[in-house]
């Protein structure tokens, strides 16, 4: 058998060459555990630990790890249109990743906002491929400037979460090239990421992790990508097919498809070659070299096992967090210049809504982390304006509140583990005891020491509680397995789940990671408690008997979540809020609404475009009270993706889309509210009037078929994604792509086109701040489709360049912005020629104003570039 040779330059500049045995090479083709690659100290190779991003480096603990710095989500960063800022953010997150000893960051997410209800849209930048690609490239350049490997994901066409492991994205060739491949092509060209992650789903009939056309032909062949291609976690589905397609590293480990025997059998059958293995191993080695994971001396470091450090952000990082959050906020509406609030308007502020005190600063799934600190809107506003009053308003979460919220002060919440299915106290089978901070836990793959059988154990959670108020309390139980609940020794609830329990309900264990609402069970008869009285709530949770049938599409998860909270009466809460406003006679009402990790997350799609539960009714009630006394109503939307504003948009004075803004939300919000910062964010995605006003429409229930059956998702709208559908009958935005108001005003003048008869033209424009406050401006340049005989399906217009000015001084501060074009600005994919093509002709360019697409700025005459001859190429 031919040898497998690797080579690299050592830390002292020496050339290192090694001949690997097949056993050594095979070990390097997959992770050794959930987060780490395999070390090989005899060859000078250390383990590389990965960490989830993209809004912060969480580290390896999913639920209760070390503190991490939490930056704004991707939609917020996309809304800045600011490559320089995003590069700073990427560098800061990478610095935090190094504190977790993670030299690979699983970020950024670069999928397209095709489907309005995609639960993970908050983790991607935009509906536009150009904006997505360049913002992602900036993020990657920042990350890799600190010696950390970025790993953009999920390649390719992962635009839904429901059914993502079984779906096949069916996309016509031209749309695939121009919309979905394009951001990845841009980021590879402009940032050279060290790694790339494949998606779970199939695209065009073949799973992405084993698609030779996507990985070998396009990514490596056409684009010249030299880095490591990594599977999404448990996203490898074959041995030979995946390796032959160019999938270098199977994650997570231990391997499911790259065992020694599997590789030997594939070699013996001729399905796999030694050369293919050697190339994948060398690409992993190259990544280790680039991240300085070679030539290390410390054994724990070599193994990737150095202890993680909690993040303590310095003043520079705090300032960046605050600036990034403020710059991403989009002022959607501002009637009568309600914002910034005047001194009189802030004299007696009234705050309404639970998201003011309990904001959502990140989305669910891989983006979740334990923040180092949270500046809440309520605390920041009360610090700035001590007379501020507050009403909690309606419930906003999908799940019942945790029982740990009412734990008796000074008492411990205890969790005991037993190698039996009874969870009996004081059992000799107990092998682990721990104290929890929350009434929930999760175990996944990393099995606790002492556990004999993962399908035959139980836990006992003991929660000492004191009722804060008298009345009805709602109990909720969530787990992949069966659960029993006892209150002061009496059985009050029992939930059977999974095989052998007597229940016929199908349990998907992965739901406990992401979509716990699908597993949560509540009870028709609430529990009555007395205020001030102490109780003992005990929950026995039994391990799931579920055996994964489909390798890597199902995996083992065990856990338990216990909710126990006063039954909510939202009608009464709305009435109490209105009454409190009348009693307080505020100078302005600020309403905080939004979603959370329970509504927007990896692993499931949103259930509705509407604001969850009764939040729209709360806004209307507050607006009615404001109108009665002539004070303004301001709404801050704390969601990672757009929500339906139509029920109340005409009843309020000002609206700010704050996204999931990271841990300095409160301070950033005060900056915007008071005018210290003029909003400069622009919508990176269209806000439609309804889900029917989108190209994809409502796909609820259409993407997740039976297990073992591939569900085809047809991208029926083709190129008409978001604002590109401006000529379609369904297009009706409430707020268009690129929309974002300012506290100031701007003029565009002195437009100059250099090389106006070439694809390498550049357009310069002088932007002047004509308003009374300092402010920055986002310059957006769109290209109209030329009048073409040959190309009839080209979108009516496309964003072709963008830039952001520095903060311009009030009353005349100006900056000349130059936007460079290239042949890529004029191209379309020629399906028959299988190449990019530019048609000769005249191309009109337009600058968008503060209301985005459709709000065209009169820049003193047409701006036109003439392309003298047609071009074709492939790259």
Judge whether residue 789 has pLDDT over 60.
Answer: no
How buried is residue 784: exposed, middle or buried, by Cβ count under 10 Å (0-12/13-18/19+)? middle
Q: Rounded CA gap, 77 and 661, in Å? A: 9
Q: Where are the domains of the chain?
A: 22-161+168-298, 330-395+570-680, 403-566, 746-873
Confidence band of 300 (pLDDT split at 50, 70, 90): very high
Q: Pick the closest to residue 313 from 240, 403, 374, 390 (CA basis).
A: 374
Average pLDDT value for residue range 659-676: 98
Determine the pLDDT at residue 709. Answer: 86
User: Is the CB of residue 235 less than 8 Å from the CB of residue 200?
Assistant: yes
Q: Rounded CA gap, 125 and 226, in Å? A: 25
Three-state SS at 593: strand
- Cβ neighbour number for residue 503 with a 10 Å cutoff: 13
* DSSP sequence for 509-573: GGGGTS-GGGT-EE-SSPEEE-TT-EEEEEEEEE------SSBTTB--EEEEEEEEEEPP-HHHH
Average pLDDT value for residue range 610-631: 98
Judge whether residue 787 has pLDDT over 80.
Answer: no
Judge whether residue 546 has pLDDT over 90.
Answer: no
Confidence band of 860 (pLDDT split at 50, 70, 90): low
Give me 343's structure tokens. 């001194």
Judge whether residue 545 has pLDDT over 90.
Answer: no
Predicted confidence (pLDDT) per residue in 20-56, tens digit: 999 999 999 999 999 999 999 999 999 999 999 999 9
Q: Rounded CA gap, 764 and 670, in Å? A: 35
Average pLDDT value for residue range 262-267: 98
Average pLDDT value for residue range 462-491: 97
Judge whether residue 506 has pLDDT over 80.
Answer: no
* DSSP sequence for 784-801: EPP--SS--SS-SEEEEE
Q: Which residues lie below 8 Å from residue 862, measured CB to CB, with a gap of 6+?
A: 844
Three-state SS at 743: coil
Judge whether residue 788 has pLDDT over 70.
Answer: no
User: Is the CB of residue 277 less than 8 Å from the CB of residue 240?
Assistant: no
Judge whether residue 530 has pLDDT over 90.
Answer: yes
Determine the pLDDT at residue 212. Answer: 98
CATH architecture of 330-395+570-680: 3-Layer(aba) Sandwich (3.40)
| Superfamily of 746-873 according to CATH | Immunoglobulins (2.60.40.10)
Determine the pLDDT at residue 865. Answer: 96
Three-state SS at 175: helix
Average pLDDT value for residue range 603-622: 98
Hey, which residues does 20 pair with through a beta bridge?
4
User: Is the CB of residue 133 less than 8 Å from the CB of residue 152?
Assistant: no
CATH architecture of 22-161+168-298: Alpha-Beta Barrel (3.20)
Q: Pick the closest to residue 169 from 717, 698, 716, 714 (CA basis).
A: 714
Judge whether residue 577 has pLDDT over 80.
Answer: yes
Mean pLDDT value across the chain: 95
Q: Rounded CA gap, 634 and 72, in Å? A: 22
Determine the pLDDT at residue 445. Answer: 63
How buried is residue 491: exposed, middle or buried, by Cβ count under 10 Å (0-12/13-18/19+)? exposed
Q: Rounded CA gap, 87 and 73, in Å? A: 14
Give the dihedral of Cα atoms 683, 688, 693, 699; nearest 10 deg. 80
Predicted confidence (pLDDT) per residue in 399-430, tens digit: 999 999 999 999 999 999 999 999 987 788 99
Query: Which of the residues 232, 484, 605, 644 is marked catalytic?
Result: 232
CA angle, residues 475, 438, 493, in degrees to nearest 5:
25
Catalytic, 232? Answer yes
User: Is the CB of residue 111 less than 8 Å from the CB of residue 93?
Assistant: no
Q: Rounded CA gap, 46 and 515, in Å? A: 36
Determine the pLDDT at residue 509. Answer: 76
Determine the pLDDT at residue 64. Answer: 75
Average pLDDT value for residue range 202-207: 97
Average pLDDT value for residue range 813-818: 98
CATH number, span 403-566: 2.60.120.260
């Amino acid at each position: 058998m031919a040898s497998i040779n690797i080579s690299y330059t050592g830390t002292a500049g020496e050339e290192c060459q090694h001949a690997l045995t097949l056993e050594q090479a095979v070990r390097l083709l997959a992770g050794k555990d959930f987060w780490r690659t395999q070390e090989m100290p005899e060859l000078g190779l250390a383990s590389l630990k990965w960490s989830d991003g993209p809004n912060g480096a969480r580290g390896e603990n999913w639920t209760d790890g070390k503190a991490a710095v939490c930056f704004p989500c991707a939609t917020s960063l996309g809304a800045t249109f600011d490559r320089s800022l995003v590069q700073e953010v990427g560098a800061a997150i990478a610095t935090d990743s190094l504190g977790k000893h993670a030299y690979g960051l699983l970020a950024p997410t670069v999928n397209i906002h095709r489907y309005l209800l995609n639960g993970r849209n908050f983790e991607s930048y935009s509906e536009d491929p150009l904006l997505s690609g360049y913002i992602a490239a900036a993020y990657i350049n920042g990350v890799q400037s600190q010696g950390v490997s970025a790993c953009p994901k999920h390649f390719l066409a992962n635009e839904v979460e429901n059914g993502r492991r079984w779906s096949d994205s069916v996309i016509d060739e031209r749309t695939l090239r121009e919309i979905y491949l394009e951001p990845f092509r841009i980021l590879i060209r402009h940032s050279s990421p060290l790694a790339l992650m494949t998606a779970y789903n199939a695209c065009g009939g073949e799973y992405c992790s084993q698609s030779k056309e996507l990985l070998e032909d396009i990514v490596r062949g056409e684009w010249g990508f030299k880095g490591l291609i990594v599977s999404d976690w448990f996203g490898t589905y074959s041995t030979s097919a995946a390796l032959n397609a160019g999938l270098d590293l199977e994650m997570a480990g231990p391997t499911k498809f790259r065992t020694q025997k599997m590789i030997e059998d594939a070699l013996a059958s001729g399905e796999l070659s030694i050369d293919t293995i050697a190339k994948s191993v060398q690409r992993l080695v190259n990544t280790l070299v680039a991240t300085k994971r070679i030539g290390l001396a410390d054994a724990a470091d070599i193994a990737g096992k150095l202890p993680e450090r909690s993040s303590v952000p310095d003043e520079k990082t705090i300032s960046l967090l605050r600036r990034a959050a403020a710059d991403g906020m989009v002022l959607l509406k501002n009637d009568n210049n309600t914002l910034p609030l005047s001194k009189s308007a802030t004299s007696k502020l009234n705050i309404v809504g639970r998201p003011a005190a309990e904001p959502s600063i990140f989305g669910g799934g891989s983006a979740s982390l334990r923040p180092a600190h949270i500046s809440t809107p309520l605390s920041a506003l009360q610090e700035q304006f001590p007379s501020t009053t507050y009403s909690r308003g309606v419930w906003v979460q999908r799940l019942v509140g945790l029982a740990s919220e009412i734990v008796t002060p000074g008492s411990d919440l205890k969790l005991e583990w037993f190698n039996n299915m009874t969870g009996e106290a004081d059992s000799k089978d107990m092998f682990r005891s721990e104290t929890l901070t929350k009434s929930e836990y999760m175990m996944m793959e990393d099995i606790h020491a002492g556990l004999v059988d993962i399908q035959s154990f139980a836990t006992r959670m003991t929660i000492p509680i004191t009722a804060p108020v008298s009345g009805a309390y709602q109990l909720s139980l969530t787990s992949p397995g069966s659960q029993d609940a006892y209150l002061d020794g009496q059985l009050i609830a029992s939930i059977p789940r999974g095989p052998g329990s007597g229940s016929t309900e199908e349990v998907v264990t992965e739901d406990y990671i992401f979509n716990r609402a699908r597993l949560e069970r509540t009870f028709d008869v609430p529990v009555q408690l007395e205020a001030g009285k102490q109780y003992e709530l005990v929950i026995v949770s039994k391990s799931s008997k579920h055996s994964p049938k489909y390798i890597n599409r199902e995996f083992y998860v065990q856990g338990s979540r216990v909710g126990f909270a006063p039954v909510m009466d939202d009608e009464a809460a709305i009435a109490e809020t209105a009454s409190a406003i009348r009693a307080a006679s505020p100078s302005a009402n600020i309403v905080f609404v939004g979603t959370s990790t329970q509504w927007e997350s990896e692993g499931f799609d949103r259930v509705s475009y509407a604001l969850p539960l009764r939040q729209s009714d709360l806004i209307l009630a507050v607006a009615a009270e404001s109108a009665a006394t002539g004070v303004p109503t301001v709404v801050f939307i704390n969601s990672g993706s757009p929500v339906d504003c139509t029920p109340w948009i005409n009843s309020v004075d000002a609206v700010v889309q704050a996204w999931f803004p990271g841990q300095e939300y409160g301070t950033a919000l005060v900056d915007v509210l008071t005018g210290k910062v003029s909003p400069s964010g622009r919508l990176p995605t269209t806000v439609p009037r309804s889900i029917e006003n989108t190209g994809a429409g409502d796909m609820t229930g259409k993407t997740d078929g039976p297990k073992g059956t591939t569900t085809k998702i047809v991208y029926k709208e083709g190129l008409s994604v978001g604002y590109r559908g401006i000529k379609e009958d369904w297009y009706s935005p409430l707020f268009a792509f690129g929309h974002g108001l300012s506290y100031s005003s701007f003029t565009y003048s002195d437009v100059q086109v250099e090389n106006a008869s070439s694809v390498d033209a550049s357009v310069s424009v002088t932007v002047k701040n004509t308003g009374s406050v300092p402010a920055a401006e986002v310059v957006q340049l769109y290209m109209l489709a030329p009048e073409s005989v040959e190309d009839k399906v080209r979108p009516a217009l496309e964003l072709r360049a963008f830039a952001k000015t520095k903060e311009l001084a009030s009353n005349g501060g100006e900056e000349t912005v130059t936007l460079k074009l290239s042949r890529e600005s004029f191209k379309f994919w020629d399906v028959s020629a299988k190449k990019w093509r530019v048609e000769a002709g005249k191309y009109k360019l337009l600058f968008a104003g503060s209301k985005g697409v459709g709000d065209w700025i009169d820049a003193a005459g047409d701006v036109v570039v003439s392309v003298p001859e047609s071009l074709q190429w492939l790259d």
